[in-house]
Amino acid sequence: MVLTIQSSRHELISNMPFSAILFDLDGTLTDPKLGITRCIQYALSELGYKPPNADELNWCIGPPLKDSFSQLLNTLDGTVIEQAISLYRHRFATIGLFENSLYPQITEVLKAIRFAGYKTFVATSKPYIYTTQIIEYFGLSLLFDGVYGSELDGTLSIKGDLIHHILLTEKLLSSTVVMVGDRSHDIIGAKRHQIASIGVTYGYGTEEELKAHGADLIAHSPSDIPKLIIRNDAR
């Protein structure tokens, strides 16, 4: 169940008194594939492009939209990219937002972690205005001490910037925090602030991607997450 990425780092984690867990949203708490891929396809079609099939857009789940559309449209033209994002959000705000599903056991996992005494926060590159609606839609609001996302203008869309904002706002020490996410951006953001990280393989990042960027531990299913956190926390 548990894969140790770096033994020395693992030993360090084992002695850390964790107090707060940051959760990515897309690919970690929920499976947003249907909504995200359909909204990307819609935006590309409206711009006159033939959109890829949904399965060819899996890599777009997680990274900031600006980066994804820049690659999809093969351009650095900010005006074109913003037009694509605007079209994406036109559909996402009313339809794509709810083309989404909770991964199995997520509610139970969050309850177990909170019952064990940890604070929990959502930390996603998705705009805050959409994130709060999704969390409320799935009835998870009472299971988080705070929900954090980016601004519509792209501020805090880089995971490292968002984590920095959360640490300052919530007055959290890096050594007491764990980041849980499915993509390299989550792991990179965590390492930037010297916080521990758990990479999840049931989302849209591969185990190889997570290992390559230094994930401290690997969870293959949602139920692995509390086991890793509680087992590796010297309390």
- Is 224 designated active site? no
> 24, 182, 186, 224: which is the annotated catalytic residue?
24
CB neighbourhood size of 215 (10 A): 31
Residues with catalytic function? 24
